[in-house]
C-alpha cells in the first residue's frame, strides 16, 4: 500500500517538492556555515520523496544545546514558512476522504520541517 501511495505522491508534486529541498540543500552546502542546514534539507527531501512507510522520531542519544540553537535559527530563517505550507496543504487535503492519507504525510513533514535538528527518519 505504501508503494502505491508513494507513486501517487511523486506524480502529484512530491518529486518537484523534493527537488526543491535538494536544490536549497545544495545551496546551503556551498558555504561552510550552511552545511548543517543543507544536510537537514537533504533529510527532508528524502522524506518528501517517499513519505509513506517512513516515520519521524526524536533521536535516542542526547543531541545537546547546539541542535536547539540550530532549530531556532532554522525557524527564523524560513522554517516557519515551510512548516506553515505543509500545515495548509495538510488541512486542505484533510477535507476529502481520499486526501486524508496525503494530509497525514504533510503533517509528518510539518513536524520535521519545523524543527529538523535532533530528529531522525526511519
Helix H, strand E, coil C: the string for the chain is CHHHHHHHHHHHHHHHHHHHHHHHHHHHHCCCCCHHHHHHHHHHHHHHHCCCCCCEEECCCCCCHHHHHHHHHHHHHHHHHHHHHHHHHHHHHCCCCCCHHHHHHHHHHHHHHHCCCCEEEC
> Model's pTM, two decimal places?
0.88
Domain that includes residue 62, residue range: 2-121
Up-side HSE of residue 70: CA atoms within 13 Å toward CB?
19
pLDDT (tens digit per residue) in 89-106: 999 999 999 999 999 999
Confidence tier at 30 by pLDDT (50, 70, 90): very high
Instruction: Please state, in angstroms and rounded to a whole number, the distance separating the CA atoms of residues 9 and 117.
Output: 25
**In the prediction, which pLDDT does 32 show?**
92
Total domains in the fold of the chain: 1
Amino acid at each position: 500500500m505504501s508503494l502505491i501511495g508513494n507513486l501517487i505522491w511523486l506524480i502529484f508534486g512530491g518529486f518537484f517538492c523534493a527537488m526543491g529541498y535538494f536544490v536549497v540543500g545544495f545551496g546551503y552546502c556551498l558555504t561552510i556555515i550552511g552545511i548543517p542546514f543543507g544536510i537537514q534539507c537533504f533529510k527532508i527531501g528524502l522524506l518528501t520523496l517517499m513519505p509513506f512507510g517512513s516515520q519521524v522520531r526524536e533521536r535516542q542519544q542526547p543531541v545537546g544545546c547546539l541542535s536547539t540553537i540550530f532549530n531556532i535559527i532554522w525557524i527564523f530563517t524560513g522554517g516557519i514558512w515551510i512548516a506553515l505550507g505543509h500545515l495548509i496543504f495538510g488541512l486542505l487535503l484533510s477535507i476529502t476522504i481520499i486526501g486524508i492519507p496525503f494530509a497525514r504525510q504533510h503533517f509528518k513533514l510539518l513536524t520535521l520541517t519545523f524543527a529538523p535538528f535532533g530528529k531522525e527518519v526511519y
